[in-house]
Structure 1
């Protein structure tokens, strides 16, 4: 139990630390950040349940007002911003990435990469685009067009998540909770 709590707290902190990587602001109001890599890793390394809990801990602290999102953003007002859908999508993305990584009968690196693509790109952007459409008063195709600049970077992050997860599996297999 204590080990699980430590892992959850550590990965919540990882997402926060990735917020220190400078963000790139886009016209949509949703910045490109490294934090989605942390969300992907929560799922691929910790698994669906623990990964989701780590993201929820991070979001709880952020929505409570701690400036943990890239650019020093925090507070409940984020739920009324163009990033609202992505914020809501973070735990769903971690869950999907963890579920796929743990259940897919494939080598760890491949399973983690596919989990990160489906969770961290497909699921996250589905919810994020819906949120952007609602907040910005756009149609779904218009909001989807606004999200296209994210796809190249998110694809790179998904491959990195797969490689990092595979590295953990090789060096410390007991630390890869998604496959235990």
Structure 2
């Protein structure tokens, strides 16, 4: 996906014209017994593989510092608005998007994105999830919150392709000047 396309659709709802660039997801932390903080980049799935190459017994429970949600209280929509079929991006499989959502819920860790960038932080079975930051500074958000935004896109009936509820494409906006986009894309 070309960076200039992401910049256009990330800000189309706000009417701003700012060029955003695509950046890899970067996570830092201690992953093995040596106690040394290491940096990993790529999608969350690629990062997980990098970590497991260093430490096959790695557990995300010991990595993250944010509180893990133990029970599932009734969920209310946290998204400010959802747009569907943005920039004619191709739709992705509902099942693949749900897998990314579930993966992010299980991580319960902070994910960051640099100023005015879109980061493809998950890509499973050719369904990409992008974390886009419209701010002039970097931001961090808990993966559970990002998963909730994905869920809001999945719950929006208009984001399904007409006549096919199994293909979804949309963008969820938060009041913090960031958004989440789901669409079909090639995954490594």
TM-score (norm. length: structure 1): 0.27
Q: By percentage of residues, which structure has more strand?
A: 2
Structure with greater Cα Rg: 2
TM-score (norm. length: structure 2): 0.26
